[in-house]
Amino acid sequence: TQSTWGGISGSRQTSVKMSKSRLWQAYTSVLNSHPVLTKAVTASALMTTGDIIAQKGVEKRDHLDLARAMRFAVFGFGFAGPVGHYWYRLLDKFLPGSGLKQVVTKMTLDQTTWAFVANGAFFAGMGLMEGKSMGDIESKMRQDYWSTMKANWMLWPAAHLVNFRFIPPEQRILYVNCVQVGWNVYLSLMAAKPVTNSNNASKPIKNEAVQS
């Protein structure tokens, strides 16, 4: 009967909600006990997710480039997650609170310091993992770093106003990397653009960058 099916549907919804609640509680428990490692794993997983979406959804690749996805995973685990943890902790230490002045100041500092460092580290890290020479990396950054920063400023200032105003400090990396999924999809549009301002201009060098 209709009432029976309604009862089954309601029971399923309740079960799903309870499962999600238990997963979230488990995540926050691990986050509290092992914050750096948890944020490293989270950044690795979500950066890889963004790259996979970019490859299959935007670039329409028939076969996933696993080596490229692994580079995203390594960068997320080794840099974006752990270094981001200490960066946001530093901001919260010297600018505690979520008032308008603190939020705007944190966002400004993030976008005038960390954004430059993070995107530069990404270009360099990805280039090194691809086996590129320092000259190739320099040429890539000379061509695309500034345009990447301008794209960065179209997204991340607003995202970080939300971050510093509403997101608990221990969950900032999770929030940032959720936004990062979409950011990586956007960056995939630049990935196939060849370097045209170097002696090796005929050799395409992938352009990928990190969140701020």
pLDDT tens per residue, range 120-147: 999 899 889 989 899 998 998 898 899 9
Mean pLDDT over the full length of the chain: 85
**CB-facing half-sphere around the CA of 32: CA atoms within 13 A:** 7
Is the distance from CB of 185 to CB of 59 less than 8 angstroms?
A: no
Is the distance from CB of 202 to CB of 194 less than 8 angstroms?
A: yes
SS3 204: coil
Is the distance from CB of 126 to CB of 181 less than 8 angstroms?
A: no
Does residue 168 surpass a pLDDT of 70?
yes
Q: What percent of the chain has pLDDT over 90?
A: 52
Residues 6+ apart with CB under 8 A from 44: 72, 73, 74, 76, 77, 81
For residue 207, the model assigns a pLDDT of 45
